[in-house]
A and B are shown apart, each in its own frame.
Chain A
Amino acid sequence: MDMINLTIDNRPVSVKRGTSVLHAAAQVGIKIPSLCYMKLEDLNIENKPGGCRVCVVEVEGRRNLAPACCTDVAEGMVIQTHSMRAIHARRTVVELILSDHPTDCLKCAKAGNCDLQSMAQHLGIREIHYEGEQSTFREDTSPAIIRELDKCIRCRRCEMMCNEIQSVGALSAINRGFNAVISPAFEMNLDHSVCTYCGQCVAVCPTGALTEVDHTGAVIRALSDPSKTVIVQTAPAVRAALGEEFGDEPGTLVTGKMAAALRRLGFNYVFDTDFAADLTILEEGTELLNRLTAFLGGDKNVKLPMLTSCCPAWVKFFEHQFPDLKDIPSSARSPQQMFGSIAKTYFADKIGVNRKDLVVVSIMPCVAKKYECSREEFSVNGNPDVDFALTTRELAQLINLANIDFKSLPDEDFDHPMGESTGAGVIFGTTGGVIEAAVRTAYEVFTGKKLDRLDYTELRGMEGLRHATIDFNGLPIHIGIAHGLGNARKLLEDIQQGKSHFHAIEIMSCPGGCIGGGGQPYHHGDAEILKKRQMALYREDSGKPIRKSHENPYITKLYEEFLGAPMSEKAHHLLHTEYFDRSKS
Chain B
Amino acid sequence: MADYKMHLLVCGGTGCNASDSEQIRDNLLTEVEKHDLNDEVQVVMTGCFGFCEKGPIVKILPDNTFYVQVKPEDASTIVEEHLIKGRKVERLLYKDPENNEPISDSKHMEFYKKQVRIALRNCGFINPENIDEYIARDGYAALAKCLGERTPQQVIDEIKLSGQRGRGGGGFPTGLKWEITSKSVADQKYVVCNADEGDPGAFMDRSILEGDPHSVIEAMAICGYCTGSTKGLVYIRAEYPLAIQRLKTAIKQAREYGLLGDEIFGTPFSFDITLRYGAGAFVCGEETALIHSMEGLRGEPTFKPPFPSESGYLGKPTTVNNVETLASIPVIINKGAAFFNSIGTAKSKGTKVFALAGKINNVGLIEVPMGTTLREVIFDIGGGIKGGKKFKAVQTGGPSGGCLTNSFLDTPIDYDNLISAGSMMGSGGMIVMDEDDCMVSIAKFYLEFTLDESCGKCTPCRIGNKRLFEILDKITKGLGTEEDLSRLRSLCKVIKDTSLCGLGQTSPNPILSTLDNFYDEYLAHVKEHKCPAGQCKSLVKYTINHDKCTGCTLCFRNCPVGAIAGEKRAPHTIDNSICIKCGVCYDKCKFDAISVS
A500 an interface residue at 8 Å Cβ cutoff? no
Residue from B281, B465, B500 having most chain A Cβ neighbours under 10 A: B500
Please, how many angstroms separate the alpha-carbon atoms of A72 and B304 in the complex?
Answer: 10
Please, how many angstroms separate the alpha-carbon atoms of A44 and B437 in the complex?
Answer: 55
Residues in A with CB closer than 8 Å to B498 are 53, 56, 64-65, 89, 92-93
Residue from A53, A154, A172 having most chain B Cβ neighbours under 10 A: A53
Main secondary structure of the interface of A (DSSP, over half): loop
Residues in A with CB closer than 8 Å to B457 are 49, 51, 154, 173, 180
Contact of B281 among A70, A97, A176 (CB under 8 A): A176
Contact A64 to B464, CB < 8 A, known contacts A50-B302, A89-B498, A93-B459:
no
Q: State whether A96 touches B454 (Cβ < 8 A).
A: no
Which B residue sits closest to A96, measured CB to CB?
B463
A142-181 contacts to B (CB < 8 Å):
153-154, 172-173, 175-180
Please, how many angstroms separate the alpha-carbon atoms of A133 and B463 in the complex?
Answer: 10
B446-493 contacts to A (CB < 8 Å):
451-467, 470, 487, 490-491
Which B residue sits closest to A52, measured CB to CB?
B459
A88 an interface residue at 8 Å Cβ cutoff? yes
Interface flags for A54-77 (1: CB within 8 Å of B; 0: not) read 101000000011010011100000
B164 an interface residue at 8 Å Cβ cutoff? no
Which A residue sits closest to B500, measured CB to CB?
A50
A372 an interface residue at 8 Å Cβ cutoff? no
A130 an interface residue at 8 Å Cβ cutoff? yes
Chain A nearest CB: distance from B496 CB in Å?
A: 7
Residue from B452, B463, B498, B500 having most chain A Cβ neighbours under 10 A: B463
Interface flags for A128-140 (1: CB within 8 Å of B; 0: not) read 0110110000000
Residues in A with CB closer than 8 Å to B456 are 154, 173, 175-180
Q: State whether A133 touches B470 (Cβ < 8 A).
A: yes
Q: State whether A89 touches B497 (Cβ < 8 A).
A: yes
Chain B nearest CB: distance from A34 CB in Å?
A: 12
Q: State whether B467 touches A130 (Cβ < 8 A).
A: yes
Please, how many angstroms separate the alpha-carbon atoms of A172 and B303 in the complex?
Answer: 19
Please, how many angstroms separate the alpha-carbon atoms of A584 and B377 in the complex?
Answer: 61
Contact of B462 among A56, A85, A177 (CB under 8 A): A177
Residues in A with CB closer than 8 Å to B499 are 53, 64
Contact of B458 among A52, A88, A89, A130 (CB under 8 A): A52
Task: Count residues of B near A (Cβ-Cβ below 8 Å).
Answer: 34
Residues in B with CB closer than 8 Å to A51 are 457-459, 500
B505 an interface residue at 8 Å Cβ cutoff? yes
A5 an interface residue at 8 Å Cβ cutoff? no
Residue from B459, B487, B491 having most chain A Cβ neighbours under 10 A: B459
Q: State whether A178 touches B463 (Cβ < 8 A).
A: yes
Q: State whether B458 touches A53 (Cβ < 8 A).
A: yes
A387 an interface residue at 8 Å Cβ cutoff? no
A100 an interface residue at 8 Å Cβ cutoff? yes
Contact of A53 among B452, B467, B500 (CB under 8 A): B500
Please, how many angstroms separate the alpha-carbon atoms of A172 and B300 in the complex?
Answer: 12
Please, how many angstroms separate the alpha-carbon atoms of A215 and B457 in the complex?
Answer: 34
Which A residue sits closest to B297, measured CB to CB?
A172
Please, how many angstroms separate the alpha-carbon atoms of A512 and B490 in the complex?
Answer: 46
Q: State whether B470 touches A64 (Cβ < 8 A).
A: no
Please, how many angstroms separate the alpha-carbon atoms of A132 and B484 in the complex?
Answer: 13
Contact of B298 among A88, A132, A172 (CB under 8 A): A172
Q: State whether B454 touches A130 (Cβ < 8 A).
A: no
Please, how many angstroms separate the alpha-carbon atoms of A153 and B500 in the complex?
Answer: 16
A117 an interface residue at 8 Å Cβ cutoff? no
B294-353 contacts to A (CB < 8 Å):
298, 300, 302-303, 305
Chain A nearest CB: distance from B478 CB in Å?
A: 18
Residues in A with CB closer than 8 Å to B496 are 64
Residues in B with CB closer than 8 Å to A176 are 281, 452-456
Please, how many angstroms separate the alpha-carbon atoms of A180 and B461 in the complex?
Answer: 11
Chain A nearest CB: distance from B154 CB in Å?
A: 32
Residues in A with CB closer than 8 Å to B455 are 176-177, 180
Chain A nearest CB: distance from B123 CB in Å?
A: 33
Q: State whether B494 touches A89 (Cβ < 8 A).
A: yes
Q: State whether B459 touches A53 (Cβ < 8 A).
A: yes
Q: State whether B460 touches A93 (Cβ < 8 A).
A: yes
Which A residue sits closest to B474, measured CB to CB?
A132
Please, how many angstroms separate the alpha-carbon atoms of A93 and B459 in the complex?
Answer: 7
Which B residue sits closest to A58, measured CB to CB?
B497
Q: State whether B300 touches A173 (Cβ < 8 A).
A: yes
Please, how many angstroms separate the alpha-carbon atoms of A583 and B370 in the complex?
Answer: 59
Chain A nearest CB: distance from B310 CB in Å?
A: 13
Interface flags for B415-429 (1: CB within 8 Å of A; 0: not) read 000000000000000
A99 an interface residue at 8 Å Cβ cutoff? yes
Chain A nearest CB: distance from B521 CB in Å?
A: 23
Chain A nearest CB: distance from B298 CB in Å?
A: 6
Chain A nearest CB: distance from B456 CB in Å?
A: 3
Residues in B with CB closer than 8 Å to A52 are 458-459
Contact A97 to B459, CB < 8 A, known contacts A64-B498, A64-B505, A88-B494:
yes
Residues in B with CB closer than 8 Å to A88 are 494
Please, how many angstroms separate the alpha-carbon atoms of A49 and B455 in the complex?
Answer: 13
A119-133 contacts to B (CB < 8 Å):
129-130, 132-133
Please, how many angstroms separate the alpha-carbon atoms of A49 and B462 in the complex?
Answer: 14
Chain A nearest CB: distance from B498 CB in Å?
A: 4
Residues in A with CB closer than 8 Å to B300 are 173
Residue from A52, A70, A133, A176 having most chain B Cβ neighbours under 10 A: A176
Contact A93 to B494, CB < 8 A, known contacts A53-B500, A173-B456:
yes
Chain A nearest CB: distance from B585 CB in Å?
A: 34
Residues in B with CB closer than 8 Å to A53 are 458-460, 498-500
Q: State whether B500 touches A177 (Cβ < 8 A).
A: no
Chain A nearest CB: distance from B10 CB in Å?
A: 39
Please, how many angstroms separate the alpha-carbon atoms of A71 and B500 in the complex?
Answer: 12
Q: State whether B462 touches A180 (Cβ < 8 A).
A: yes
Please, how many angstroms separate the alpha-carbon atoms of A97 and B281 in the complex?
Answer: 24
Residues in B with CB closer than 8 Å to A175 are 456
Please, how many angstroms separate the alpha-carbon atoms of A188 and B463 in the complex?
Answer: 25
Please, how many angstroms separate the alpha-carbon atoms of A52 and B498 in the complex?
Answer: 9
Which B residue sits closest to A181, measured CB to CB?
B456
Chain B nearest CB: distance from A496 CB in Å?
A: 23
Please, how many angstroms separate the alpha-carbon atoms of A132 and B460 in the complex?
Answer: 14
Residues in B with CB closer than 8 Å to A130 are 463-464, 467, 487, 491
Please, how many angstroms separate the alpha-carbon atoms of A31 and B104 in the complex?
Answer: 72
Interface flags for B492-532 (1: CB within 8 Å of A; 0: not) read 00101111100001000000000000000000000000000
Which A residue sits closest to B458, measured CB to CB?
A51
Please, how many angstroms separate the alpha-carbon atoms of A127 and B452 in the complex?
Answer: 28
Please, how many angstroms separate the alpha-carbon atoms of A88 and B461 in the complex?
Answer: 16
Q: State whether B497 touches A154 (Cβ < 8 A).
A: no
Residue from A70, A93, A96 having most chain B Cβ neighbours under 10 A: A96
Q: State whether A92 touches B494 (Cβ < 8 A).
A: yes
Which A residue sits closest to B468, measured CB to CB?
A130
Contact of A132 among B467, B494, B505 (CB under 8 A): B467
Residues in B with CB closer than 8 Å to A172 are 298
Contact of A96 among B305, B451, B460 (CB under 8 A): B460
Chain A nearest CB: distance from B415 CB in Å?
A: 15
Residues in B with CB closer than 8 Å to A100 are 463, 466
Contact A96 to B459, CB < 8 A, known contacts A65-B497, A133-B466:
yes
A/B interface sample: 6 pairs, CB < 8 A: A51-B458, A51-B500, A72-B305, A132-B470, A177-B453, A177-B455
B residues in contact (CB < 8 Å) with A: 281, 298, 300, 302-303, 305, 451-467, 470, 487, 490-491, 494, 496-500, 505
Inter-chain pairs besides A52-B459, A64-B498, 19 sampled, C-beta below 8 Å: A49-B302, A50-B458, A53-B459, A53-B499, A54-B459, A64-B496, A64-B497, A72-B305, A85-B497, A92-B460, A100-B463, A133-B470, A177-B452, A177-B454, A177-B462, A177-B466, A178-B454, A180-B454, A180-B456
Nearest 4 Cβ contacts at the A-B interface = A180-B456, A177-B454, A132-B470, A96-B463
A residues in contact (CB < 8 Å) with B: 49-54, 56, 64-65, 67, 70-72, 85, 88-89, 92-93, 96-97, 99-100, 129-130, 132-133, 153-154, 172-173, 175-180
